[in-house]
């Protein structure tokens, strides 16, 4: 074992190493990562005790030649996502450690919950961002589609318990500086307050270093979503099944209140549900478009022209790519009586 801190994810059957120092590791079981380490059993015991107690600890190996230090990575709901562990000589001080940030995505209800640490690691301003009740698009930075986001987006659309993800993304912080963010995530089936099963994704992130491993870029999705931004048009990725907003490709659309709720039932006018269902069928064979009434920033409804493409994210997962803009006068007139709002003045 090196002198670096090891970040160990503890949500699976066996603790798994997800970072060595700032370098991302691919969920390597601790027994495999430290298979030749004489202190393996003592380290495993220290991790287990840290999870059970929910507190950091310092212990000595049986031969008294090494000290084990642990720190807890705990979500605000009390669930422990991981343990930071360091092993060194009794008279040595551990190196400075990066601070992991736990976060949770409720995949059933489309709500993200962050911590101050996870927001800071993501390059956001913790003083200006909410930690609870966030939309997924708040957590996925506005930019061209990152090739490594494919599996995460796939999990949002088709979540399955047991899915795991590790990666390092190149991003830009809120001051415009380039950063690297490592993360590890796992999809779990958990009961809610009423005892009903719901799918959640629990994760940790940290300020990482560039992942030197080769990544397969998205082909079709990258080509479609990576085109140039057109002024006045705002592109977003959505779940085809629920129309939940997943990610903005361009800047977030200011024309309607997309952040009011992650579900289509409150963002889209109730009378437009049938139109959305028709679009879902139509874009199976090509792009389709409608003028839909969406929740306005003042609480009413505003007509928005929506063009939808069916977008292949991975081999077996599809998302929707929406292009949103203000409708023309002719498009409003063509929508006819379905819209309650008066057409804009020409």
pLDDT in tens, 228-285: 677 888 999 888 877 888 889 888 999 998 875 544 457 888 888 888 888 877 776 6
- Choose which CATH entry (3.40.630, 3.40.1700, 3.30.450, 3.40.50) describes domain 6-88: 3.30.450
Write down the pTM of the prediction. 0.69
Give pLDDT < 70 ranges for the chain.
Answer: 1-2, 141-151, 210-228, 260-265, 284-285, 337-338, 340-346
Encode pLDDT of 110-124 as tens digits: 889 999 999 999 999
Question: Could you tell me which residues come within 8 angstroms of residue 301 by beta carbon, excluding any fewer than 6 positions away?
Answer: 269, 293, 294, 295, 340, 341
Edge-to-edge strands, sheet with 67-74 = 23-29, 16-20, 6-9, 80-88, 67-74, 57-60
| Cα dihedral: 127, 132, 133, 135 (round 10) | 60
Domain 218-346 has CATH 3.40.50.300: no
∠ CA 172-226-275, nearest 5°, is 110
For residues 164 and 131, what is the distance between their CA atoms, to the nearest angstrom? 23
Query: What pLDDT does residue 213 have?
Result: 47
Distances (CA, A) of 317 to 109, 125, 133, 313: 20, 32, 26, 6
Q: Dig out the tokens for 215 from the structure.
A: 């990544």
Q: Cβ(183)–Cβ(205) under 8 Å?
A: yes
Domain pair 6-88 / 218-346, same fold: yes
Q: Which sequence spans correspond to the domains of the chain?
A: 6-88, 218-346
């Amino acid at each position: 074992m090196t002198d670096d801190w090891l970040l160990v994810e503890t949500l699976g059957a066996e603790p798994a190493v997800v970072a060595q120092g700032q370098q991302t590791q691919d969920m390597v079981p601790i027994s495999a990562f430290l298979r030749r380490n004489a202190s393996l059993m003592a380290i495993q015991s220290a991790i287990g005790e840290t999870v059970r107690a929910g507190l950091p600890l310092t212990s000595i190996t049986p031969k008294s030649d090494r000290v084990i230090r642990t720190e807890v990575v705990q979500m605000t709901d009390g669930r422990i996502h991981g343990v930071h562990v360091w092993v060194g000589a009794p008279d040595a001080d551990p190196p400075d450690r990066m601070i992991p940030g736990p976060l949770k995505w409720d995949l059933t209800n489309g709500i993200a919950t962050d911590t101050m640490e996870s927001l800071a690691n993501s390059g956001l301003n913790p003083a200006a961002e909410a930690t609870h009740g966030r939309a997924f698009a708040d957590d996925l930075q506005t930019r061209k589609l990152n090739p490594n986001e494919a599996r995460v987006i796939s999990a949002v659309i088709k979540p399955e318990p047991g899915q795991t993800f590790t990666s390092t993304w190149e991003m830009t912080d809120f001051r415009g500086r380039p950063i690297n963010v490592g993360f590890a995530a796992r999809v779990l089936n958990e009961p809610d307050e009423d005892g009903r099963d719901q799918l959640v994704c629990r994760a940790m992130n940290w300020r990482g270093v560039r992942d030197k491993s080769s990544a397969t870029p998205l082909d079709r999705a990258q080509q479609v979503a990576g085109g140039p931004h057109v002024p006045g048009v705002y592109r977003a990725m959505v779940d085809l099944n629920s129309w939940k907003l997943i990610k903005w490709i361009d800047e977030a659309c200011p024309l309607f209140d997309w952040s009011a709720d992650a579900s289509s039932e409150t963002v889209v006018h109730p009378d437009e549900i049938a139109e959305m269902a028709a679009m879902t069928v139509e874009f199976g064979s090509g792009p389709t478009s409608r003028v839909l009434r969406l929740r306005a920033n003042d609480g009413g409804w505003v007509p928005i022209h929506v063009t939808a493409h069916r977008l292949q994210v991975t081999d077996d997962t599809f998302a929707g790519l929406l292009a949103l803009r203000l409708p023309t006068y002719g498009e409003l007139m063509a929508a006819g009586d379905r819209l309650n709002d008066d057409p804009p003045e020409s």
